[in-house]
Amino acid sequence: MSRLLHVLCSPRKGRSVSRSVARAFLDAYASKNPGDDVETLDLWSVSLPEFDGDVLEAKYAVLHGKDHTSQQAAAWKAVVDAFDRFNRADKFVFSVPMWNFGIPYKLKHLIDVITQPGLAFRFSPESGYTGLVTGRPALVILARGGEYPPESDSAALDLQKPYLETWLRFIGVTDVQTLVVEPTLDPRRSEDRVNDALERARTVAAGF
């Protein structure tokens, strides 16, 4: 049995394209893999620790090879708990709308909390950074109101897809499929694009 974690990043519920496409994927996946455990991490209903004070000092203690104080250890436990929930998964699905050319702040909060030394990566002067979340596939579903095709003038405005793909590689997730749905705000084309994305999601689920 595998564990699949769906990181849900949109608060729009039924009006969310990224959520709709993720639902099509998850339904098809569950039908194909009835014994697997599928968990949704709704970033709009989960409480994540603030990354300040003792938590920040605890991070630098890890980086510098120092022991935690009792206050730092208590603060660091909340970070480890959040990372462990993420790291328990064998497979990842992210459903992410574009906000202001990038990602929702709730997802950035999760990334900033769990991307920690000794958890998501390690560092040494000899080998540099090494991701520790390895051997697992990820599907990244991206919904965007506009279009940002490669090599176009608007491509430089896309801070969503490159950031997420870079972050996943950094923590060790190299088997990444990206499903882009765009443009969702153009009534002349959005319905066809969404329907195409739903079918692509079901196809990906068959072999995920």
pLDDT at 32: 96
Query: Please, what are the domains in the chain?
Result: 3-48+86-206 (3.40.50.360)
pLDDT at 150: 87
pLDDT at 120: 97
pLDDT at 57: 93
pLDDT at 64: 87
pLDDT at 186: 87
pLDDT at 15: 87
DSSP conformation class of 102 = B
Half-sphere exposure of 167 (CA within 13 A, CB side): 19
Tokens of 88: 């328990």
Q: List pLDDT tens digits, range 123-167.
A: 888 999 999 999 999 999 999 999 998 888 899 999 999 999 999
Residue 195, classified by CB atoms within 10 Å of its CB into exposed (0-12), middle (13-18) or buried (19+), is: exposed
Could you tell me which of 166, 198, 206 has the C-alpha nearest to residue 179? 198
Tokens of 144: 């965007």
Kind of pairing between the strands at 91-97 and 137-143: parallel
Q: What is the pTM of this model?
A: 0.94
Question: How far is CA 5 from each of CA 31, 67, 147, 173, rounded to the nearest angstrom?
Answer: 16, 32, 28, 14
pLDDT at 167: 98
In this structure, are residues 83 and 120 in contact, taking their beta carbons and an 8 Å threshold? yes
Q: Which residues pair with 178 in a beta bridge?
A: 140
Within the chain, residue ranges assigned H as helices are 17-32, 53-63, 70-87, 105-114, 161-171, 190-206
Tokens of 61: 């203690």
How far is residue 36's CA from residue 53's CA, in Å, rounded to a whole number?
39
> Which residues of the chain carry a pLDDT beneath 50?
none
